[in-house]
Amino acid sequence: MDGVKKSTEIKNFTEGNLTSHLVRFAIPVLLSHLMMVLLNTVDMIVVGQRLGEIGTSSVSIGGSVAMFLNAFIGGFSSAMQVIIAMKIGAGKHRQISKFVSTVCGFVFITAIASILIMLPCTDLMLKLLNTPSESYEGARWYALICIGGIIPIYFYHIISAIFRGLGDSKHPFIFIFIACGLNILLDFIFVLGFDMGVGGAAIATVIAQLVSVVLSVIVLVRKREAFGLTVQIKDFYRWDKKELLRFIKLAIPMAINNSAIQIAGMVINSMTNDFGVTVSAFAGIRANIATTVDLILGSVAAAGAMVIGQNIAAGKLKRVNGALIRVGAISLTASALLIVLFLVFPGWIFGIFTKEKSVLELVYPYLPILIFSLVNAGIRPVTRALIEGSGNKKINLIVALLDAIVARIGLAVIFGILLKWGYMGYWFGTTLAELVPILIGVIFYFVSVRKKLRKVNYERNSEYGK
């Protein structure tokens, strides 16, 4: 086995109690996701209360452009986390340092390229989204500022992935907690105090993320020996081609998956925005709630992917199966609690974002679709943990193409346009499409994963018998 110093803080999930591993890893991730939700929603809440439905619509549409980049780098961070986990599971600890430095250097170049590509395209994207004229200027400023500050946002995701890949989910929570508190404070100062409107909210978000990144870099440098990281400055620009290629092969499908889902959402929002600023404002709140639910239950999937990734690399079939069962039990319980919450307090929850009666009138017609989506959300972490934890680039690409591009947009068009359900049809079609990755994950498990793990066990047992 490729070892590291005994003082290492790298977590090994191939041994010990599975439930304990999942819960201890998932709770800080859940809290991090909740803080990220608050970081994203506080802009909408403060601006919405100050400027009404026009402000809510501006943050919603401008934020969707920035969220596209967040989704893209989210695919990179997921790939990084899984590959580190699989190196740990396979006992290849010494490869982690070169992998980390190579990916960080590559991500910096990617961030610069994203800014250069996205800034000139901002107006085009807003027009493609059919941004209402009342919201256009605010949405434009929000998008431009967030895109211009994308480097700290990218590196928050990547550095958090390094910590989590090494089994430390507590520090990313601390970083985002500080960022969230700072963002709330700056929102009140810039939006309410200086009356800077939507642009002030975007500036607050970028500054908060920058502070969290600086803190995370300081902590990672201080803990490098505990994590067994031996990185030099030259390693960030002298990339290991083998490690980079492996990363790209997994990261690109994951990034396409996340980005394609975001693009599908933007396309559907574009069609929805044709119905006016009221529906646009509700769509923004709906999307924010959907993101919140996904991040909450995504914490369970992230923990599951870590445990599954290590145990697949170690060839431990029983622990993979055990992790999947526990992920399902936790996520379905959380989903059930959310369903009860939305059934009992729907008006109050949506009222957090806006006081506009015209917007709140859409809550109850949308409620059945929301409940259906919450049921899907309870099942989805199981297959998501399996697919991400497997590190299989092909299955991630299949999910991206079928789920995001074919199913989400296709079903939205069928129900919204062909069946003439309007914007409710768009939202129902999107919700129905959530079943696609679930079905793909089930097929993938029985056709590929079980077969692969049995083969690994057979080879190891045969070798041991010799």
Residue 222 lies in a domain: yes
Residue 4 lies in a domain: no
* Average pLDDT value for the chain: 79
CA-nearest of 411, 456, 404, 448 to 432 is 411
Residues 6+ apart with CB under 8 A from 307: 13, 18, 21, 22, 25, 319, 323, 389
In the structure, what pLDDT confidence band is assigned to residue 228 with cuts at 50, 70 and 90?
Answer: low
Average pLDDT over residues 423-437: 86
Residue 189 and residue 390: Cα distance in Å, rounded?
45
In the structure, what pLDDT confidence band is assigned to residue 337 with cuts at 50, 70 and 90?
Answer: very high
Return the higher-pLDDT residue of 371 and 123: 371
Residue 355 lies in a domain: yes
Contact 45, 60 (CB under 8 A): no
Residue 186 lies in a domain: yes
Contact 139, 198 (CB under 8 A): yes
Instruction: Please count the other Cβ atoms lying within 10 Å of the Cβ belonging to residue 439.
Output: 12
Helices (H), 149-232: 150-165, 170-187, 197-222
Residue 306 lies in a domain: yes
Domain count, the chain: 1
Residue 466 lies in a domain: no
Residue 315 lies in a domain: yes
Q: Ranked by mean pLDDT, which of 33-37, 85-89, 192-196, 378-382 comes out on top? A: 378-382
Residue 323 lies in a domain: yes
DSSP tag of 352: T
Owning domain of residue 377? 18-460
Residue 196 and residue 198: Cα distance in Å, rounded?
7
Average pLDDT over residues 386-414: 77
Residue 132 three-state SS: coil
Contact 411, 436 (CB under 8 A): no
Place of tokens 């500054």: 207
The tens digit of pLDDT for each residue in 92-141 reads 777 777 888 888 888 888 888 888 888 888 888 787 777 777 778 778 88
Triad 143, 144, 146: Cα angle to 5°:
65
Average pLDDT over residues 413-441: 87
Residues 6+ apart with CB under 8 A from 217: 155, 159
Distance of CA 136 to the CA centre of its chain: 27
